[in-house]
Amino acid sequence: MSNFGDTKIPKTKLHWENPDLTEFECDDAMLLLKLAWRNTWRNRRRSLLTALSVVITLVFIVFLESLNKGVFDYLIENEINIYSAHLEVFHADYVQQRNVQQALRNADSITAYAFGIPAVADVRKRLEMLVLVSGGESSQPAVLWGIEPDKEPMLSGVAFDTTSPVSENSISIGRDMAGFLGVQAGDSVVLIGQSYYGRIAAMHVHVQKLFDIPIRDISQHFIIAPLRLVEEFADLEGGATSLHITLDDKNHASNVSKHLSEIYDEEGLEINSWIETLSGRLSTYELRMAAVNVLKIILFVVMAFGILSTIILTNNERRQEFGMLMGIGMKRRFLLAVFMMEMLVISIMGVLVAFAVVFPIIAVIYHNPIPLQGEMVTIFSHFNVDPVIVVSRDPYSFLKNAGIGLMLAMMLSLLTSVMIIRLKVAEAINH
Amino acid sequence: MLFLGTFSPTEPDAGQIIQKTTERYSRNALYSELSIEVIRPGWVNQLGVRAWARGDTYALIVITSPSRDRGNTFLKRGDNLWHWIPNIDKTVKMSAAMLGLPWMGTDLSINDLFNNHFDPSEYTLQLLPDEVIRDTECYVIELTPKDDVPIVWNHIRVWVSRVNYAQMQAGFYDENGDMVQLMETADYKEVGELIVPLEIHITPLTIPGNKTILRLTHYDFDVQLEENFFSLQNMKRQW
C-alpha cells in the first residue's frame, strides 16, 4: 500500500477538487514538485538505478567526445602553428605555378596592413623557391624554405641550433639530403636558382644543422633557411611567396580573409583559411566523430533500456497505488504530471551527478595532459611538439548530451503515461 | 610603256629583299655594349651587358650591371653554351635549348641577341602587299619554316623598309595564325655598308605588360676577334 497520505496537503489548494481550474498555479507546481521529490525517495534503489544509467552514459559520452575533440584540436592547433597558420595569403598566380616570380612583392605592406586588423595575432612571412643544391660530388633539386626564425620558434627549434643566434648565411638540411650530398653539419654547399627577376641566383651557404623531421619528402628535399638569406638569394627584399596569419580566434578567419581580399582586390591575392588548407585532416576528424557518434547511440540505447526497465517495474508495482489515488478523486492529469515530474527529477539528478563526476576528471586531465608512450614520443618531439594526450573543455558538448539524455527519459516516461491514461480504477485497486 | 614602268622589272622578289636586308645586317665580328630594360607589370629592371660575337657561331656575353649579377659570363660556341658564375666560382655547361629560351629574365634568347636576321634557305618566302609602318613604306614578307628546320614559329612576317632595307619589325605567329611576339627596331644608324638599329623592342603578346627594350650604347664593328678568344679561360677574366 502506498504511503501517499503522509504528505500534508492544504485542503483548499487541492487541485483535483476544483474542476474549473484548467491550469496549474504556481503553488500547484510547487506541490507537484514536492510530491515528485518525495515519491522519488520512496523507492530509493529504483530511483538511484535509473539515475545511475543516466550518469554512466553521460560520463562515458562526454569523456569520449572531449578526448576526441581535445586530441584533434591539439593536432590541428600544432599544424596551424608549425605549418599553415589560420590564413595563408598568396598571389593567385603563385598558387598555380609555385614559382618565385609570382611572389608577393609588397608582402611588407600587406603584413603591416594585416597587423592593423583587430583579430590578427601575428603575420609570418615565408619565401619558398626551387633551387639546385650542390655539395661534395652531387647535386639535387630542393625546396628552399625561408622562415622568420624569431616568429616561428617551433620550426626554427627543429631546424636550427638556437643556442647561438642563427647567422644569415646558415641553412638547415634534412638528414636524407645530407646523406645524398655527402655533407655534414658545418660544411658548405652551393645553391643555384633563379631570382625574382628571372636571373641566375647562386650562393655559398653554410649548413648549420641537419634536421630530423621523420617525413622522407621533407628530409630529402627541404632546405630551411632564415628569410633574410632567401630574400637576398631571390633578390626580393620585403617580398614573400606566402603570408601566414594567425588569429586570436580561428573562427574569425573568414571575416579577416574577406577584409584583406577587398582591400587588395587588384593585387589578385588568394587567401586560404585553415579550413581549406586542412580540409583533408578535417574530413578525417569528421569520420572519427562519426564513429564516436555511433558509439554514442549505442550508449544512449543502453541508457534507454535502463530507464525503460525501471518504468516497466514502476508500472507493475504502482498500478494499485495509481488506482487508489484515482479512486479517492485524484485527477488523471495531475497523476500524470506527478509521474512525469518524478522522471524529470531522477534524470536531472543523474545529469547533475554526471556533471559532478566528469568535470573534475576533465579538468584534471586538461591541466595535466596524459603523456604518450613509445614511438609516438620521438615522432612528436621531432616536430617540437609535447607528446601528450589532451582533452577539450567544451561545455557545449556536455549540455548537448545532457539534453539528449533528458529528452530520451521524458519520451520513455510517456510510455507510462499511456498506461495511466488507460488505467481502469476498479481493476487497478484489486490488482 | 608607262604602264609597264609602274611594274618595273627592277622590283625585287621576296628572296632578294631578304638577301639584301641580311647583307645589310650581318657582319663578321662585333663588340657591343647593351643596356637591356626588362618591363614587367609590377616592375622595370635594367641589365648591362658587354658582348663579343663572331658570325652566328661564337659569342661571349658578360653581365656588367646590376652589381649582384656582375661578372656572370656566357660563352657560346656553335650549339654549346657555358655559364660562368663568379660568386660560386663555377662554370656550368648548359643545354643547347637554352640558346633559344628567354635569357636572364628578359624576353630575348641568346640567339636573338646576335641573329636578328633570317637565313633564306630555311624558309619558304612569300611577298605580301606593301604596308606602311611608322610612316615608312615597307615590303611585307612572310617566311614559313621548311619542314626539317627546327624553328618554333608557324610563320614569321618581316616588314622591310623600302628606303634602306632595314627590318622595321618582325611578327612571330603561332599555328592559329595569331601573332605571339613582336620585334620592332628603331633609331637606325648607318655604319659603313650596314644599317644598325640602336634600339630593339621585343613584346611577347601572350603575356600582357611584358616587354624588353634593348639599346646599343656602344659598338665596334671593326674589332678583330680570333676563334680562340671565345674560350673557357677567357670567360673567367675579370672583364
Residue-wise burial string across B45-55, b where 16 or more C-beta atoms lie within 10 A, e elsewhere:
bebbbbbbbbe
Q: How far is A141 from chain B (nearest CA, A)?
A: 15
pLDDT bucket at B239, cuts 50 / 70 / 90 = low
Query: What pLDDT, on a 0 to 100 scale, did the predictor assign at position A300?
Result: 92
Paired with A173 in beta bridges are: A210, A223
Q: Is B62 an 8 Å CB contact of chain A?
A: no
Q: Do B90 and A235 touch (CB under 8 A)?
A: no
- Which of B42, B83, B106 is nearest residue A105 as measured by Cβ atoms? B42
- Interface ipTM above 0.85: no
Of A313, A397, A322, the C-alpha closest to A58 is A397
- Which of A190, A199, A203 is nearest residue B69 as measured by Cβ atoms? A199
Q: How far is A181 from chain B (nearest CA, A)?
A: 17
Q: Do B90 and A202 touch (CB under 8 A)?
A: yes
Pick among B38, B63, B72, B85 to test the A interface (most A CBs inside 10 A) = B85
Query: What pLDDT, on a 0 to 100 scale, did the predictor assign at position A4?
Result: 46
pLDDT bucket at A25, cuts 50 / 70 / 90 = low
Q: Do B88 and A192 touch (CB under 8 A)?
A: yes
Of A68, A6, A71, A54, the C-alpha closest to A34 is A6
Q: Do B90 and A190 touch (CB under 8 A)?
A: yes
Nearest CA in chain B to A199: B104
Q: Is A132 an 8 Å CB contact of chain B?
A: no
Query: What are the residues whose beta carbons fall under 8 Å from the beta carbon of A18, sequence distance 6 or more?
Result: none
**Is the distance from CB of B186 to CB of B166 less than 8 angstroms?**
no
Of A244, A241, A187, the C-alpha closest to A210 is A187
Nearest CA in chain A to B107: A198
Q: What angle do CA A16, A20, A23 make, to 5 degrees?
A: 75
Own/partner pairs for B12-16, CB < 8 Å, 24+ apart? B13/B127, B14/B125, B14/B126, B14/B127, B14/B139, B14/B141, B15/B120, B15/B125
Arithmetic mean of pLDDT, A402-421: 85
In degrees rounded to 5, what are phi and psi of residue A418? Answer: -60, -45
Cα A82 to Cα A158, A257, B103, distances in angstroms: 10, 20, 38
Q: How far is A392 from chain B (nearest CA, A)?
A: 48
Query: What pLDDT, on a 0 to 100 scale, did the predictor assign at position B171?
Result: 93
pLDDT of residue B12 exceeding 60: yes
Query: What pLDDT, on a 0 to 100 scale, did the predictor assign at position B6?
Result: 43
Tally Cβ neighbours within 10 Å of residue B171.
Answer: 20
| Per-residue pLDDT tens over the stretch A172-182 | 999 999 999 99
| Per-residue pLDDT tens over the stretch A347-377 | 999 999 999 999 899 999 999 888 888 887 8
Q: What angle do CA A73, A215, A149 make, to 5 degrees?
A: 70
pLDDT of residue B1 exceeding 60: no
Give A-chain residues touching B83 at CB under 8 angstroms. Answer: 200
C-alpha cell at A166: 642563427
Q: Do B88 and A202 touch (CB under 8 A)?
A: yes
pLDDT bucket at B172, cuts 50 / 70 / 90 = very high
Nearest CA in chain B to A192: B88
Arithmetic mean of pLDDT, A182-209: 92
Tally Cβ neighbours within 10 Å of residue B112.
Answer: 20
Tally Cβ neighbours within 10 Å of residue B59.
Answer: 23
Query: What pLDDT, on a 0 to 100 scale, did the predictor assign at position A431?
Result: 64
pLDDT bucket at B210, cuts 50 / 70 / 90 = very high
Interface contacts (A, B; CB < 8 Å): 37
| Per-residue pLDDT tens over the stretch A254-295 | 899 988 888 888 878 899 998 888 888 888 888 888 988 999
Query: What are the residues whose beta carbons fall under 8 Å from the beta carbon of A345, sequence distance 6 or more?
Result: A33, A36, A37, A40
In degrees rounded to 5, what are phi and psi of residue B59? Answer: -155, 145
| Per-residue pLDDT tens over the stretch A53-82 | 889 999 999 988 888 888 888 888 888 877
Going B29 to B30 to B31 to B37, the CA torsion angle's sign is negative
Of B119, B121, B149, the C-alpha closest to B26 is B119
pLDDT bucket at A21, cuts 50 / 70 / 90 = very low
Nearest CA in chain A to B47: A199
**Is the distance from CB of B37 to CB of B11 less than 8 angstroms?**
no
Identify the burial level of B226 via C-beta atoms within 10 angstroms of its C-beta, where 0-12 means exposed, 13-18 middle and 19 or more buried: exposed
User: 635594367: which residue's cell?
Assistant: B46
Q: How far is B102 from chain A (nearest CA, A)?
A: 9
Element (H, E) at A368: none
Q: Is B72 an 8 Å CB contact of chain A?
A: yes
Q: Do A197 and B83 touch (CB under 8 A)?
A: no
Query: What pLDDT, on a 0 to 100 scale, did the predictor assign at position A370?
Result: 87
In degrees rounded to 5, what are phi and psi of residue B192? Answer: 60, -120
DSSP state of A77: H
Q: Is B46 an 8 Å CB contact of chain A?
A: no
